[in-house]
Amino acid sequence: TTHTVVSTSNFCDGSTTQLSMAGFGGGGGGGGASKKNKKTVKPLPKLKAKTQWDRYADLKQCKKIVVGVKLSGNEEEAEWLEVGKVRSENDEHTLVAIARQRALIADHAKRLYPVKVPANSVLEWGYFMEEGDGESGSWETVDKAIGTDAPKGIEKKFGFEGISDKASGYYCYYSEGRVVERGETLTAALTTGSKTLPN
């Protein structure tokens, strides 16, 4: 299985490494410059699961891209876990869709795989790149910095829909941040004790 880190020239995850190397063997001066030149990253707006699911549903003409996570740190043993799908307007924002919705994807992964993905897990995000026959392919890792400088409101151009049990193929639907049946409110779900509907 091939693992590729997807990034762009607009983002420099390697900047940390470069700054560290500048101070290596160079005394205290390099370290001071690193701190002084370090940019303050503004937090991105928090996305709501229900809102992004609605956006996913609205983009029904766009391609579904399978997304997943894996535990970071052990490349040989870590397995990719399918979490759901994303869609983006004109199929143009897949990488940004994953990077900007990574909190939703991570939360859903912890819900789906509580043993494999503990609450304090450090994760990597990615998507499944299909090959010609659609039956095979490889997972591509997405740099989470992608989308940091994307235009304001870009989140309106993509959506995420999570799955529940991989074996059952059920989807999860949300109301007020909780999983409910499609088209049902959280109050109704708590009253009836209903479960998710199959795809």
The set of residues, in sequence order, having a beta carbon less than 8 Å from that of 138 and lying 6+ positions away, is 1, 2, 3, 4, 128, 129, 131
Mean pLDDT of 24-44: 50
Q: Which residues pair with 129 in a beta bridge?
A: 138
Is 182's pLDDT higher than 80? no
d(C-alpha 98, C-alpha 85), whole Å: 9
Cα-only R_g, the chain = 19
Q: Is residue 107 very low, low, confident or very high in pLDDT (cuts 50, 70, 90)?
A: very high
Worst-scoring range by mean pLDDT, 5-9, 136-140, 176-180? 5-9
Worst-scoring range by mean pLDDT, 18-22, 26-30, 178-182? 18-22
Q: Which residues pair with 84 in a beta bridge?
A: 67, 162
Mean pLDDT of 14-42: 43
pLDDT score for 177: 54
Mean pLDDT, the chain, rounded, equals 73
d(C-alpha 85, C-alpha 127), whole Å: 9
109-139 pLDDT per residue, tens: 998 999 999 989 999 999 999 887 767 899 9
Mean pLDDT of 46-52: 93
Of residues 57 and 33, the one with the higher pLDDT is: 57
What phi and psi values does residue 167 have, to the nearest 5 degrees? -70, -35
